[in-house]
Each structure stands twice: as C-alpha cells, then as structure tokens.
Chains A and B, each alone.
Chain A
Amino acid sequence: MSRRKPYELSPGKGPSMWRTLEDKNTDPAELQKMAEEEKPGGFVTDLLSPKTLVSRRSFVQGSSIAALAAGLQGCVRRPENEIFPYSKAPEHLIPGIASHFASVTARGRDSLGVVLTSHDGRPTKVEGNPEHSRSFGGTDVRAQAYVWDLYDPDRSQSPARRRGNALANATDADFDDMLAGLVSKHEKDQGEGLRFLAPISNSPTFRRMRDKVIRKLPKARFHTYSPIDDDNIREGAKIALGSPVYPVYDFARAMGTVSLGADFLGSEMGAVANGRRFVYPRGITSPSAAMSRVYVVESNFTITGGMADARLRLPLGEVERFTRLLVAELSGRGIGDLVPLADLLGKIDGALDIEGVDINFLSAVADDLVANRGQSLVVPGAGQSPRVHALAHAINYALGNANKTFAVGPIIDAGDEPSRKSIAALASEIDSVQSLVMLGGNPVYDAPADVEFAKLLGRKGLTSVHVASHRNETSELSSWHAPLAHELEAWGDQQALNGVVAIQQPLIAPLYGGRNPIDILAVFAGEKATAHELVRETQKQALDGMTTSFLMVGFSPNSTSQDALWRGALHSGVFVPPQRGDAKVLDTPIADALVSASAKRAPVSRDNFEINFEPDSALYDGTHANNLWALELPSPMTKLVWDNAALISPATAKALGVKNTQMIRLTKGEAKVELPVWIVPGHADFCITLSLGWGRTAAGRYGNGKGFDVNPLRNSDGMDFTTGVKVEALTGRYNLVQTQTHDRMEGRPIAIDATLDEYKAEPDFASYRAVDPVNTPPLWKQQDYSEGHKWGMVIDLNGCTGCNACVVACQAENNIPAVGKFEVERGREMHWLRIDRYFVGDDEGEPEVAVQPVTCQQCEEAPCENVCPVNATTHTPEGLNDMAYNRCVGTRYCANNCPYKVRRYNYLDWHGHMDDKFAWFEDFPESRKLQFNPNVTVRMRGVMEKCTYCVQRIQEGKIAAKRDGRQLKDGDIMSACQQACPTQAIAFGDLNDPKSRVARWANVNRNYKLLPEVGTRPRTSFLARIRNPNPKLKGNG
C-alpha cells in the first residue's frame, strides 16, 4: 500500500508514546519523577542535558517507558474530565456532526446568498448558496471572512453612555430606558428633531419599519449613508430609463465585453455572480471553441484588468470622454439608435476630443461591439458619473443586448435618498436635530471630509445614539452606544438587485446582547412584535402582492402553504425568485444631462494629480478593519499586507523622483495626507489609487493604526475620484510588507499563457513550452494508482482572477493562523494557498498580468517525503501527501526540499500569541477559539504544515459514502478553495473517475504541470491561460 515499508512499531500493546508528552495537562516534572522511580536499565534521566548524548532511539525508548509509567498511574495519562450532555437534546442535533443553514449577507443594496456550517451551535464556515442567483454557489473574500467578525474579541460587549469625555459602560436596561424616553418625547412632537442615519439597506423589513416610523412620526427623517454607495448607478438609470433600476449582467452570453472603469469581477456589486457567468465563454477546452473578448478601461490595475484581453489605462475622469467617443464610433458604424446622441455630442465643445485616447483601441472596441450585437456588453463602474451609466444604457439598448447579456431588475426602494446628498442634508440641518439615531456605520471615520461629521456630533443639546459592532470612532463621540448584532445573530431579510429575496436567519444567539436595527425601529414604530415576526409579516405581504406569479409556479396562496413557503425559504435560502424590470431608453434626459455638464477637463499632470478611492479588497470600507484574515490577506495586485499605500505608475514615480515605499504628501485644498507610495506597473500616469478602510483608530487590537486613513481627502463632490491634487515627495521611507517580492518569471514557464491564435496554431503549446521532463530514475518503487481513488486538482488559469476568496476559505477551513506584519516580513506567513502574481511584458507601463494559485502539488514523487527523518510526511495509497503533525519534529528539511515552496512552518505558537512588532498578546482570545474547525488539528509551535487537499473533507465524504453503501460521485467532495471559487476555476476530484471534471480537465490540451523537469509528478496541474486580443491590436501590453 504505502510506497515505503510502514514504520515499525515496537511490538506489544503499549500506549502510544507521544500521547503523554504532548498533553498539556500533564506536569512534566511529575512525569519525570515517575519515570525516575521506575529506574529501568539504561534509562537516561536528564534528557535535556547537553552533556548527555542521547541517540534518537534511546530517547524514544526512554519516553516510551516514561509514558508507560505514567499510564500505570491512570489519571496522569488521561486526566479525568467530565461530559455534560443535554438533559433534553434538541432535535436533529448530534454532537460532532455539522449542520448547515441557508442565510444571506449584505453587499450594499445587493445581497449574497450563503450556506453556513455550524458545529455544535458555532457557525464556523461560509459557503455560497447554489440556489441564490447572486452567488450560484460562489463566494468572495468578505463572505469567507465575515464569520471571523462574529468572534472578533474587540466587538462591543455592552451598551455605553457618555460620561464627560469618554464612554462608560451602561446596562441594557439603561439603554432601553433611554430609548423609551426618546420614543415618548418624540411621540409628543411627532418626531420633530428626530433623525435616523443608517447605511444603505437591502432589507424589505427594515424599509417597512422605516416607513412605519415616518407614518407615526411624520416630522422625523431618515438619512442614508454608506461610504461605498451606488448613487451613480441609480442616478444614471433614472436619467436613461426613468427609474432607479439596476442592470443585472449575464456575462455567460457576452462575447464582447467592455468595462468602463468597472472592476466587475472584484469590487463591484454582484461580482460573485458576474465571475460565475464570466468563465462560461472563457474556459474553452479546444481551440475551435468560441471565446469571449474583454476590454477594460481603467486607472488602477484591478483584477478585472488582469483578466482583460486588451486594457487601456486612462485616468478615471477620462473614462467619460472615452464613453462619448465610443458612442460616436458606434453611431458611425451604423448603430442607428445612437445617431441622435452622437450628433449632439458632436456639437458639444470638447466632448469628442480624442487627445490621449488610443484610437486603435477605441476602434477595436467599437468593431467588436458591433460584430457581437445582441451578445455584447458595456459595463460602467460604480465610480463613474451618472452620465456614463446613462450612456452605457443607451449603448447596451442600441446594440440589442437588453434581456440578453443584461436585464434590469425591479425598482428598489425608489424613495431612498442618494447617500452623498443625504448625509450632506443631515449636516446642513444639524441645528434643528435634537436626537440622532445611528443604526450601524461609522460616519466619523468615513463620512465625506467636508461634512465634518465629528463636529456635528459635538453639537450641544444633541442626543446621539450609535448602534455598532464595535465601539468605533463614531461611538466614541456619541452620547449613547449599544452593540449591534452580527448578521449571524439576527433575523432579517435581504433583497438582491435582481429582486431575489432571501431570509437572513440567525445561527447563534447574540454573543454580547447585540441589537438588531429592525428591533430598534420597531420600538419607534410602536411595534410589539419581534424581528422574526416582523420579517415573516413583510414576506407575507410580499407574497400577497404577487399571488398570481406564485400561482403560476404552483403555490397556492392560502395560509397553510404560506407556512410551508416560509419553511421552504429558510431551507433553500431563496424566498422570492429573480424578477425582471421593464425599461426603455429616453434620449432627451440623457441629452439634457450631457449638455448641462462640462465636457472639458484639465488633463492630469505633474501639478494636477487625479486620486481615486476604491474599497479595499479585504477591509472593504473599514468594516473588516479588525479582521485578522482580512488584514493579512495579500492585496491581489500589490501583494501588500497589513497596510495600504498610494499606488502610482512607474512613470509617475520617475516624474516625482520617488522610490518604492517613499513617503509622499497629498494635498487637496486644506486636507493633507501622508502615506508611502507603491509602484504598480500598468497604473495610469499621474493618477493615484488609494484604498479605503485603513488607518482606523478605534477598530480593535489588530486593526488600530494599520495603514493610512485617506478619508480626509474625500469630499462630497469627489467621492469616487477627484483631480487638482498636489503631490510632494517626502524624504522618509515606510516599511511596506508584501508576501511576494519577485514579480517576474525570468522567462521560466511557470504561469503559462498564449493568445488564441497561438493556441489554434499549436493546441498543445503548454506542454511544448514546458521544459522536457528530465528522466530522473525514481528513488522508490513506482506505485500503481490505477485502483481506487486518485485525488487530483486542476486549476484553470483562464478562470482564476486572483480574487483571494480561496485563500481565506482555506484559512477558515484549516484553522490557519495570521502571524502579523513583522512575521510576514520575515517570510513566515502561514497561508497554505498563495496566489502568485506576475507581470508579463517588457514595457513597465503596459504589462499584462498572470495570476496563479499555488498550493501543495501533492507530488507522486514528493521530495519532501524523502528527507523527513521521522516519516511525518508520507504518501497515501490514494496519492495524497500526508502530514502527521504529531509526528513532526520540525527539522524543516521538507520545506527546504520542496520546489514549490508551499510548506509552512509554525515558528511561534501563533494560536497562543500574536507577534506583531513584538507586541505580544499573551492570551489567545476565548471567542476566537469558537471559530475553529473541529475536524482539523490546531497546530502548535514547531510543526510543519501544508495543504492537504482538505483531507478532512475527503474522509468525511468517504465515510458518508461507506455508511450509506454508495459510490462516491464527482462533486461529493469539494476542497474549500474549490467550493469558494466564484469562477469555478478549481476542479478537484478523482482522476480515476473519467466522468469527473478534474479528469476531463486533466486531458485538455492546455494542461501542464508546474516544473515537470524536476520529476516530482505533481497531482495538481494547470490549464494554461488563453488571451484573446483583437488581432488588430498589435502586442497588447
């Protein structure tokens, strides 16, 4: 079975020898004493003395006898402990068996359906819900990481009230009394001076309660503010279509796609669903298959830009001009519906100025859009002006793409104020506000700088109430604070942009008495019902309103079936199916909008920088600023951890005379921000990308003081990007740390790619480009893997965007610690799965990007196994490269001998301490222990670890199949990375099952293995990436 003779255990039925030494409850001194009393012949008592030469054999013998001695004492070897079962066990709850529940998590006004794994009442892992059409089973970084937020040790744990300059703990009763006082006060004055401020909500029940509060207290007013909003999308739709609807894209049908500053696979709403559909016309398995073409116009190098077949770097402010030019080009190519708009644009001074826009790129885009009429797509970014969104609607409708590559969803919350205007209105009317109730959010940190929110809260006579997950910057300045319930602790309902409604069901009672915003609104609305009942009532009303459509799918509207529907919704995670809105493009409002805006814009230059703000790929707007997984997640393009930076192009760095990591000062009006630069090849010149969410002062122990707060530069009129920024180089340097320091492949075939034409000419180019395997004779007898399971993995580089969802999924599944910035700098990061990012091409200004997830390749001829002195890493008959942690003595020979550098070593006790710039946290917070996956060992210091293909899932699947007496089929066992991947770029399964996806992919002609010349025979292989540039665009990048 095993390729080598199994390790010979000493005969006889003795207890296993390491059990005792490992057990923390045993006092080593006592053990030593007992062993001494035994005094066996040749036993070395002073094991630790350097004077005593101890051979490994005698050491093992000695400790074995010590263990035996301890075993005779009974209670020492197995410390007595007690088991407390339920007195009356809840139904369907078997200790040790995980349960799964469908729920949903908010993405601004959109939502993402999830399925949660709960171990004995503790939610531990998040997966996508295949039945939810914003997930299709995929997830993103934030979904994978948000279970950590639940166990964040720095969550707010009790209400608090202002005493002098600081918050003092208060009781829940105090807070309830205060709330009741506010309600009775405002019941008398009809809500005069009562204001609410909440982030953009996607919850129908929240909206229903909000409207009910307004009906009861008509003088009260609701404000909406989220630092990352969808104002431009809504306004654009209002201009072009007359109503605030959202386009819902279907990239599976789009053969020609143009992104106008949209990171639709990364930061935009619906990125998971977009990614899921995006790969359909990309993951081709033969050169003759049709492949889509993707153009991206952007400033920063985003992951969507990395997937582009052709990319144009432009300042974000110039994308609008590009869009206008595109309208004119399309109209010139016979798209009749665009002729009136193009004519109008021709009359506006400067609207069609070609200066700085690559005409070849523009005409290639126009050619491909026209050639793919009805199956093309123009996607504007949320950061682009409403006019760009309106023009994009006009283009998409004119090209006949409506209801093919995109459809508009239903009208959602038509009365909701635009976020930016809403908070400005609150600021301007602050003098008339007596009570301000803030339901979540952190406006002191993230409101536009010109609003000066901190000053508003300091106004005399204002009672401010802030309900938030943490006692954050806003809580610190409020009169009252109460903990906010996590999404996993509260009932709710969430609507997606395509109309899908899903129920947010709690998996755990609030750990710290967190409050549900719905409950607080219910108090003001005079509702006695609980959030659970309110959500049910909302959905009952929704159902009554759409009886006919439900009748069509076979539901009857009587009350019994409503109960069944509700239960069905909780089970499947989807309550209302997707809906489609109806819309028509209105030319006149678009024309009015174009005419009223200035088409002229001063070009960016050394004295006129453009800065653009984007949500951080992991921290988002700062919501996850204390999340260890998020903080230590390498940014997809820069691979920076624990910090943000000012991203600039190489040419800009030269013009400024700055080196990488040098500090610069950005000045916009009065506001100044100092932060280090990071040079990103492919970034637009004289533009700076700044990510939000960093530089927090009240995030918690992990997030405080990490990175740089760029919000002071962000004003109401420049929330997405702004120009007129002055930059000066400072002399200091800042220590930025990244996980990958080398960006190029030095010509070696590692992340292999080719153009579609090259693929057609040479279908097996991937193996051709790989160096011929050296016929090294194998060290051991070759194993026959043709019987039974043969686990393997194939990663399609055509699908992988480098979004990092798999990295966090792996971390959550496998109890992988975060180690802190200082340790990452020493190369001690622990991620089992890393995503390598390479820049391809000779021009530093216009490179292409290749990303490649690398994890243990599960070599059949594993070099790590040959060098392990204790057989801690061995091969299974199914081809897995096992790692027995308890056997590992930490020589690290295996890691040294691994050509893929995928083994990770626990240099310190990461689960006991966090070494961050030598600030040691003595105790591992109890709450974080609740997150651990009980099916995976929590590794200790001195142990090597690595990817196991999620062996706990393999065993679980195999055991389930054995128990049920059935054969395993493809898809029964999914690795955590595979399950999380939004683009299904990872196939895992049995290579001996010819029908499995992994076996089919293993035979695709663009399959290749990493470093085949070493002769390791890896089980993981890759599908080489195909790029599909327009042949007219010579040598993109």
Chain B
Amino acid sequence: MRESWETDASIAWVRVHQVPDHAFFDHSVHLNAGVGCQSCHGRVDEMEVVGVVEPIAMQWCLDCHRNPEEHIRPKSEVTNMKWEADETWLAQRSEVAAALNPPMHCSGCHR
C-alpha cells in the first residue's frame, strides 16, 4: 500500500464478489435499509484469505427481499462485524422491516 501511494501504481486487488452484468446492485440502498456488511460478505475480519460466504445468487437475494426482517439491523450497526440482535431490536425489527418494501419484481435488479 505504501508502494502504491508512492509510485501512483494501482494495487491489483483480486475480485472476490462479482455480480453478473445483467444484475444491478446498489450498496447505498442496502446499507440504508440496515443490511450489515457481514450479512453478505461474512466475517471478513476473521478471514485470512477473503472468500465468498454466501451464494450471491438470485434466489438468495430474493430470500432476503421477501423476508428482510431477519437480515436487517440498526443502521448504526451495519459495519459492526460482531453485532448480534438483542431483545430491543427483536422487538422493533418487524416494524422497521415493514417500511422497507424491497423490490421483488424483475426490474428491481435487471434493467
């Protein structure tokens, strides 16, 4: 990284997560809905070599879109890798989820 900064050469990161070209994914809306990093990318903090944890496939996406309640957390905790749902959150999360309305039709992701 130091070398990259000094030489202006890019770091060649290996791509781990790849969504196909015909699926359009927007991080901002997921983070704002309270989907944590960990929900899709896994415990990256514990990975020596980063790998794919979840299938990142349409059905898996839809599982959450149909039933977001179990997969969301308070917005303040989206970057928290160790977060676990507590009583207060369990009590209010269905209400939060009800307001989300994630798309379940084709053009939600395919345009």
- Residues of chain A touching chain B, judged by Cβ–Cβ distance below 8 Å, are 1-2, 6, 9, 13-16, 19, 22-23, 78, 80-88, 788, 874-877, 880, 882-887, 935-938, 948, 951-952, 954-955, 959, 962-963, 965
Contact = CB atoms under 8 A, between A and B. Distances in A.
A19 B57 contact: yes
B10 A951 contact: no
Contacts of A882: 105-107, 110
Contacts of B101: 788
13 contacts: A16-B59, A80-B15, A82-B12, A82-B14, A82-B15, A84-B11, A87-B8, A88-B8, A882-B106, A885-B110, A952-B24, A955-B111, A962-B32
Interface string B21-47: 110101011001100000000000000
A883 B106 contact: yes
B21 A937 contact: yes
A83 B15 contact: yes
Given A87-B4, A884-B107, A948-B111, 4 more contacts: A9-B59, A14-B55, A84-B13, A885-B22
Query: Which of A19, A875, A935, A936 has the most B CB atoms < 10 Å from its CB?
Result: A19
A416 to B, nearest CB: 47
Nearest to A11: B59
B90 interface: no
Main secondary structure of the interface of B (DSSP, over half): loop
A464 B25 CA distance: 54
A2 B104 contact: yes
Contacts of B103: 876, 955
B57 A963 contact: no
Contacts of B57: 13-16, 19
B9 interface: yes
A955 B108 contact: yes
B110 A884 contact: yes
Nearest to A94: B28
A84 B111 contact: no
A882 B7 CA distance: 48
Contacts of B108: 876, 955
A883 B22 CA distance: 12
B66 to A, nearest CB: 9
B18 interface: yes
B11 to A, nearest CB: 7
Nearest to B11: A85
Contacts of A937: 21-22, 110-111
Given A85-B11, A883-B106, A937-B110, A955 B4 contact: no
A86 B10 contact: yes
Contacts of B7: 87
A963 B15 contact: no
B60 A13 contact: yes
Contacts of B22: 22, 885-886, 937
B49 interface: no
Contacts of B60: 13
B13 A880 contact: no
Contacts of B32: 962-963, 965
Given A85-B11, A88-B5, A951-B111, A959 B28 contact: yes
A887 B23 CA distance: 12
Contacts of B58: 9, 16
A938 B105 CA distance: 20
B59 A955 contact: no
B22 to A, nearest CB: 5
A963 B75 CA distance: 12
A85 B15 contact: no
B98 interface: no
B85 interface: no
B1 to A, nearest CB: 9
A959 B29 contact: yes
Contacts of A877: 105
B59 A87 contact: no
Nearest to A81: B15
Contacts of A9: 58-59, 62
A995 B103 CA distance: 25
Contact of A886 (B8, B28, B110): B110
Nearest to B66: A6
A880 B59 CA distance: 22
A87 B55 contact: no
Contacts of A19: 20, 57
A475 B87 CA distance: 77
B34 to A, nearest CB: 12
Given A82-B12, A84-B10, A88-B8, A13 B107 contact: no
Contacts of A1: 104-105
Given A9-B62, A82-B14, A952-B24, A87 B107 contact: no
A963 B34 CA distance: 11
A876 B26 contact: no
A36 B7 CA distance: 49
Contacts of A963: 28-29, 32
B55 to A, nearest CB: 5
Contacts of A2: 104-105
Contacts of B10: 84-87
A22 B110 CA distance: 15
A876 B108 CA distance: 9
Contacts of A6: 104
A955 B62 CA distance: 17
B87 to A, nearest CB: 26
Contacts of B8: 87-88
B106 A874 contact: yes
B55 A15 contact: yes
| 10 A-B pairs closest in CB distance | A876-B105, A84-B10, A884-B106, A882-B106, A16-B57, A882-B107, A951-B107, A952-B111, A16-B58, A959-B29
A935 B111 CA distance: 7
B4 A880 contact: no
Query: Which of B5, B13, B57, B60 has the most A CB atoms < 10 Å from its CB?
Result: B57
Contacts of A85: 10-11, 13
B13 A876 contact: no
A379 to B, nearest CB: 43
Nearest to B29: A959
A87 B9 contact: yes
A874 B108 CA distance: 12
Nearest to A20: B20
Nearest to B30: A959
Nearest to B23: A886
Nearest to A79: B18
Contacts of A951: 107, 111
Given A2-B105, A13-B59, A83 B13 contact: yes
A952 B8 CA distance: 35
